Amino acid sequence: MKYVIIIPDGCADYPVESLGGKTPLQAAYTPHMDAIASSGLVGQSDNVPSHLPAGSEVANMTLFGYDPNRFFTGRAPIEAAAQGIVLGPHDWAIRCNTVTILDQIMVDFTADHASNQEAREILSSVQAAIGDARLEFTPGVSYRNLLIYRGRPSEATPFSSETRTRAPHDLTDGSVLDDFPRGPGCDLLCEWMQKSSEVIANHPVNALRLAQGRPPISHLWLWGLGKTPSLENFEKRFGLRGAMITAVDLLRGLAALVGWDRIEAPGATGYLDTDYASKGKTAIAALANHDLVCVHIEAPDEASHEGRVEEKVKALEAIDREIVGPVLQALRDQGPYRILITPDHPTPVSTKKHAHGWVPFAIAGDRIVSDKSNTYDEVSAAQSGLQIPSGWELMPRFVQGDW
């Protein structure tokens, strides 16, 4: 038996006026997703408890079958695992975005998708200016970087589970005045953020960006801090060897923490220009040596954050055409299978932010009896009457065929 999970990140949405009152999923031409729905079943799951951040860090942990109420410690330590960064008992990982804040408004949480080189130069300058041996500013991919705080046994840890931060993508187009860090250690986080803005203001990277007509990188925004979570090995739990295909460190990190192999697809970018066909081909190849293959696609979420509904529809159609269709055919050709299509959380284009709430899923394959649904979208999922309020229960039911 082979299992495939396809995650179109943030694809769940609300009706959009420009789409005639349809959601992007309803408006998109997705015959292969609809085929999965018509031959199997559709339903809804709630992947983010209301008291936790409505982000991919919580929602994907849930999708992997792990209760975030028990295991979630923060986003940054998951991304640290993707880079092979080992955190000691006194260490904390902190997410570090390059952002553009103008007149106290979060204009762009990506700083116009800062390049790897731009981020590397900025982080190096801030590291040198702060000059604290406990701090390691660590480049990641584009605007997604890390700050590692190396604690000392002889000193009290400044942070705790009560330290509160806000994800910059949830502040898009809004004021940041009331959303700086709060709680234990907030003074340090705010101090480092302020220092970063002073260092960056006249940085050569910004001089070049302004000459190119691009917005400046104004700050390093610190958020999502935590210590390494302890997750039971997935193969030990479910008896399946897994693989993850993604361009996003968060998903790479979750895969590392649960013991999945991480396979890179050539041309995968984590943005709208990703090579969808490459991801589909990579997934099919991975089926030869793995029991379960998970394909994560960031593009729909990025389109939502930018408020670009047409691009979201195009991304969904590309996922269906270049990934779902070929993978579904390969599964049918090789023998018994089950396939699951589901986003992690909603990201409405109208708000440009992640949201709590139900997301639609569709499952087809071995021992899955059709529920007579014809399409895969938010409306058909809601009409099915099948709801999984504790989303971490979806994975065991998917694996066991318990419907």
Domain of 348: which CATH number? 3.40.720.10
pLDDT number for residue 372: 87
- From CA 403, how far away is CA 398, in angstroms rounded? 8
Are 87 and 37 within one domain?
A: no
b/e for 280-299, b at 16 or more Cβ within 10 A?
bbbbbbbbeebbbbbbbbbb
Q: Based on the fold, state whether residues 98 and 61 are members of the same structural domain.
A: no
Residue 76 lies in a domain: no
Are residues 369 and 254 both part of a single domain? yes
Q: Is 28 left (phi over 0), alpha (psi -120 to 50) or beta?
A: beta
Residue where a domain stops, chosen among 210, 226, 242: 226
Q: Is residue 77 part of a domain?
A: no
H/E run at residue 36: helix 31-39
| CA distances for 11 relative to 6, 173, 287, 310, angstroms | 12, 21, 25, 13
For position 165, what pLDDT does the model report?
A: 95
Total structural domains within the chain: 2
Q: How far apart are CA 175 and CA 173, in angstroms?
A: 7
* 105-108/219-226 β-pairing: unpaired
In which domain, by residue range, is 110 found? 82-226
Quick one: 172 and 201 in the same domain? yes
Q: How far apart are CA 289 and CA 166, in angstroms?
A: 40
Asked whether the beta carbons of 244 and 78 are under 8 A apart, the reply is: no
Predicted confidence at residue 383, as pLDDT, reads: 96
* pLDDT for 353: 92
Contact status, residue 292 vs residue 243, Cβ threshold 8 Å: yes
**pLDDT at res. 43:** 98
Give the domain-ending residue among 181, 208, 226. Answer: 226
Residues 235 and 378 in one domain: yes
Residues 286 and 359 in one domain: yes
Q: Are strands 337-341 and 2-8 parallel, antiparallel or unpaired?
A: parallel
Verify that 248 and 325 share a domain, yes or no.
yes
pLDDT along the chain (403 residues), means of 10: 98 98 98 98 97 94 97 95 93 97 95 95 96 94 94 91 93 93 96 95 95 95 94 97 96 96 96 97 98 98 96 98 98 97 98 96 96 95 97 97 89
- Measured in residues, the chain has a length of 403
From residue 98, alpha-carbon distances to 120, 137, 155, 326, 340 in Å are 10, 12, 29, 37, 34
Q: Classify the C-alpha dihedral 294-277-380-335 as positive or negative.
A: negative
293 & 395 share domain: yes
On whether both 141 and 55 belong to a single domain, the answer is no
Judge if 49 and 151 occupy the same domain: no
Strands 387-388 and 41-46: parallel
Same domain, 248 and 142: no
Q: In sequence order, what are the beta bridge partners of 126? A: none
pLDDT confidence of residue 180: 95
pLDDT of res. 200 = 94
